[in-house]
A and B are shown apart, each in its own frame.
Chain A
Amino acid sequence: MATIEISDLHKRYGAVEIFRNLNLHVQDKEFVVLVGPSGCGKSTLLRMLAGLEDVTDGTISFDGTDVTDLKPKHRDVAMVFQNYALYPHMSVAKNMAFGLRMRGVTNAEIEQRVAAAAGVLGLTEYLERHPRELSGGQRQRVAMGRAIVRTPQVFLFDEPLSNLDALLRVDMRAEVKSLHQRLNATFVYVTHDQVEAMTMADRMVVMNNGTIEQVGAPLQVYDKPANVFVASFIGSPAMNMIRAKPSVANGQKVIRSDDGLTFPHPKNNTGCEGGLIVGFRPRDLNVVDKDTSGAIEAKVEIVEHTGVETLVYVRAGSHKLCMSIDKQEWSGLGESVCVLPDPANTHYFDETTKQRVG
């Protein structure tokens, strides 16, 4: 059992405030991923959970017990550092055994648990090597091994995969996920890679500038971004965003941008008095017939092939929109096309509060 409760957390470095009033609840055995741009405070938050960083104000509790002022060694947590922080002067086996030894576990048990963890991670042949004699991926495994031998209640990961090459990263992603299922513990995982966040998380926490922008299951965050930041941060290529105002066209309530692009009015009418931001993902922008109602006329400017999909950049009015379609040869550079965002997947945000309105 290990729930984590972060309430009213403040963190300052001198006069610089990193967090103000941060609240987060992590359920037992949950896999929570903290994701956000560089410098938003992910590592700081994780380090405060580990007890490596002082809390300025507020409380952190594990299972209802206040641990705010506990030293790291008194919290039942394990942490995997971004640069692994393996002890260079100890063999792999000693690295993994260190935490157990410090906690007074008997030698026989240490041996057995290290062997078991090494088996799980495929490190058995490397136990006598030193960290400098291992590849990046193997080091990463040792760092994980050092965490899992201790079977703590909470695992903390600080961008553990960011130093690996792309292929290995995909493998390790699955491996971490399966570890979570096997270990039955609470995982808090930090990354700035949204694909990692989407694929691994039970729930993801999107952070920006020291505040939590949205908490939710990956698909929920993807489908219903709570605000402009989340909408633009999650999803690649980024969502198209257009500033627009409510207006009337042909007797129908629509919203219209400065350069004359019109979009249907959001279904629930609340908060549409002032300016809005209309957003739709490249995937949700489609080529339509010229006479479809609401079709936007645009000119094709750039075509990119990623292999899986084809990205078509079109200019509509003064806006450059990105459209993603299934892989195909597209030879219509400079051509005019008509495009239309899928109304069901069009997002509306209040221009001033930047919050989702429909």
Chain B
Amino acid sequence: MRLSRKTRLALRKAGRNAVLLCLAAIAMIYLIGPVYWMVSTSLMTEKEMFQVPPHWYPHDPSFHAYRAIFGFNPELVAEVNARGLQVQNIMPALWNSIKTSVFVAFATILIAIPAAYSFARLRFRLSLPLLMAYMMLRTVPSIVLVVPVFMVLRTIGLIDTTASLVLVYCTFTVPFSIWLLQSYFKTIPIELEEAAWVDGCGQLTAAIRIMLPLAVPGIVATFILAFMASWSEFLYAVTFTKTLNSQTVTVIASSFIGIEAARFDLVLAAGVLSSLPPFILALIVQRYIVAGFAAGSLKG
């Protein structure tokens, strides 16, 4: 059978697409599978969760786990806690996480914007060394700072407060935000500000009225990345917080795991809740994350 050239090409293309799609499907199973399994488990009843072999999807989806961790099912919580778990209402922790992350994100951009401006627009001798110093601070492992910062916070009596977390998180978000923002600012043509100077602005007015509005996408992306970093943080949170007064959602979620009896439906419902905000935000700033990765300037 002889096919026309056109059909042959079309067939070849279809074949190629089929192969690529298969590979993509395998990749997606690898990357998304565990996430799917988390969501699916969180919707299973206790009985279904402990099926052997496991059900691939919840045959009888139920929101009991979510109801329990939001405090609508105190009996269940009491029952599992009697078996040695420490399940508690996740609301206060969610609220703590939101509070902390929003404060951190705001403080970060407030501190980072002026500094980033200086690297993008001013010429000064220490510009490069300072930028490199920020870069170095970004790579310091958090664990190095845990003990000394713990001592400082204990001295000033901030242990177990949201404020302590905000203070610490900014130490890590500020350097990478300065880095990201300064490279964003540098993409805004300086002629626009020069035009504004000629139009009668001082340097500060021009920066505020011309550069900042144009930098909004970069600032929003930085805000979101700082928010995400602080939302996901665990080491400091678990060290510096003791009660629901300041414990964040990552700490609470991890505390649901008991040694003996695990209720993974509850644990993973908490996991879903902790992952939801970062997932959504990551999709929003996808473009910037990619650019930031490529510039080697993001926390991995």
A50 at the interface (CB under 8 A from B): yes
Which of A72-80, A109-117, A210-218, A348-356 participates in binding chain B? A72-80
Q: Is the CB of A102 within 8 A of B205?
A: yes
Q: Which residues of A contact B199 (CB under 8 A)?
A: 73, 78, 98-99, 102, 146, 150
Q: Is the CB of A88 within 8 A of B197?
A: no
B156 at the interface (CB under 8 A from A): no
Q: Is the CB of B202 within 8 A of A87?
A: no
| B109 CB, nearest partner CB in chain A, Å | 19
Partner of A71, one of B191, B202, B210, B214: B202
Q: Is the CB of A85 within 8 A of B200?
A: no
Q: Is the CB of B195 within 8 A of A88?
A: no
Q: Which residues of A contact B210 (CB under 8 A)?
A: 87
How far, in whole Å, are A193 and B133 apart by their CA atoms in the complex?
A: 47
Interface of A is mostly: loop
Q: Which residues of B contact A50 (CB under 8 A)?
A: 194, 198
Within 187-204 of B, Cβ neighbours of A (below 8 Å) are at: 189, 191-192, 194-202
How far, in whole Å, are A103 and B197 apart by their CA atoms in the complex?
A: 11
Q: Which residues of B contact A79 (CB under 8 A)?
A: 195, 198
Instruction: With a 10 A CB-CB cut-off, give which of A72, A83, A98, A103 has the most chain B CB atoms.
Output: A72
Q: Is the CB of A85 within 8 A of B191?
A: yes
Q: Is the CB of B191 within 8 A of A73?
A: no
Write the A65-107 contact mask toward B (1 if CB under 8 angstroms, else 0): 0000001110001110101011111000000001100110000
Partner of B194, one of A52, A98, A103: A52
Q: Is the CB of A73 within 8 A of B197?
A: yes
Known pairs A87-B210, A89-B214; A52 contacts B205 (CB<8 A) = no
Instruction: With a 10 A CB-CB cut-off, give which of B191, B202, B205, B210 has the most chain A CB atoms.
Output: B191
Q: Is the CB of A87 within 8 A of B205?
A: no
Q: Is the CB of A87 within 8 A of B200?
A: no
Residue in A closest to B201 when the chains form the complex, CB atoms = A102
Within 260-286 of A, Cβ neighbours of B (below 8 Å) are at: none
Known pairs A83-B191, A85-B191; A78 contacts B214 (CB<8 A) = no
Q: Which residues of B contact A99 (CB under 8 A)?
A: 198-200
Within 211-236 of B, Cβ neighbours of A (below 8 Å) are at: 213-214
Q: Which residues of A contact B205 (CB under 8 A)?
A: 102
How far, in whole Å, are A77 and B195 apart by their CA atoms in the complex?
A: 11
Within 40-62 of A, Cβ neighbours of B (below 8 Å) are at: 50-52
Q: Is the CB of A73 within 8 A of B200?
A: yes
Q: Which residues of A contact B201 (CB under 8 A)?
A: 73, 102
Q: Which residues of B contact A103 (CB under 8 A)?
A: 200
Partner of B192, one of A51, A87, A150: A87
Q: Is the CB of A88 within 8 A of B194?
A: no
Partner of A81, one of B195, B213, B214: B195
Q: Which residues of B contact A88 (CB under 8 A)?
A: 192, 214
Partner of A98, one of B196, B202, B213, B214: B196
Q: Is the CB of B192 within 8 A of A77?
A: no
How far, in whole Å, are A145 and B194 apart by their CA atoms in the complex?
A: 17
How far, in whole Å, are A85 and B194 apart by their CA atoms in the complex?
A: 9
Q: Is the CB of A73 within 8 A of B202?
A: yes
Give chain B's interface residues, CB within 8 Å of chain A. Answer: 189, 191-192, 194-202, 205, 210, 213-214
Q: Which 7 A-B pairs give the minimum distances between C-beta atoms?
A: A99-B199, A102-B200, A85-B191, A85-B195, A72-B197, A73-B200, A72-B198
